[in-house]
């Protein structure tokens, strides 16, 4: 990642999702509000900006690595796992399940996630399959 601060990093990651500019701006605002009330650093070197929003209709995840690290804001992180869950009539089940999944991956391989040498390795540790984005 190129960003040097948290706000830019969130926008950079949202920018790789297949969503419009206005949606990026609104989601960035929501994620920043969440960060303001409590930074989402979940492990040394890993931040997990997340929220639920009516602006997405399916779970959207973007993962980024920063070689130089990003101040978040009290400590530096170099791995950012951003996700936004849709708001569904049945409540936050999907969101809750995904939080559990991430918590389990971090418990199991937090240090490996920070030192992963490639995107593929990172995705394997997170048990994700990279989606092919539509043009």
Partner 1 sequence: MDKQLEKLISLHDLDVMIADLNRKEIRDKEADMGLKTEGALEELKELREAYTKSIARKWRGLYSQLTRHYGNAVVPALMGRCTGCLTRLPTAVCSDPERNSRVHTCPTCGRIIYWAD
Assess contact for 98 and 127: CB atoms under 8 A: no
Q: Which segment (27-35, 59-67, 75-83, 116-124) binds partner 1 by CB under 8 A?
A: 27-35
Q: Are strands 46-47 and 41-43 parallel, antiparallel or unpaired?
A: antiparallel
The residues in 44-103 that bind partner 1, with binding defined as CB under 8 A, are 48, 51-55, 57, 87, 92, 95-96, 99-100, 102-103
At 95, list the tokens: 């969101």
Nearer to partner 1, 97 or 131 (CB): 97
For 25, the 3-state DSSP assignment is helix
Q: At what angle do helices 21-37 and 6-14 cross, to 10 degrees?
A: 140
Which residues of the shown chain bind partner 1 in the complex (CB under 8 A)? Answer: 19-23, 26, 29-30, 33-34, 36-43, 48, 51-55, 57, 87, 92, 95-96, 99-100, 102-103, 106
């Amino acid at each position: 990642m190129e960003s040097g601060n948290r706000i830019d990093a969130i926008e950079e990651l949202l920018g790789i999702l297949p969503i419009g500019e206005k949606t990026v701006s609104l989601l960035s605002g929501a994620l920043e509000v969440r960060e303001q009330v409590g930074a989402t650093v979940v492990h040394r070197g890993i931040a997990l900006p997340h929220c639920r929003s009516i602006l997405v209709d399916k779970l959207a995840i973007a993962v980024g690595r920063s070689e130089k690290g990003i101040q978040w804001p009290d400590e530096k992180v170099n791995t950012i796992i951003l996700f936004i869950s849709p708001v569904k009539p049945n409540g936050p089940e999907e969101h809750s399940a995904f939080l559990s999944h991430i918590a389990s991956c971090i418990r199991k391989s937090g240090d490996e996630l920070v030192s992963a040498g490639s995107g593929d390795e990172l995705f394997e540790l997170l048990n994700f399959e990279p989606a092919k984005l539509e043009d």
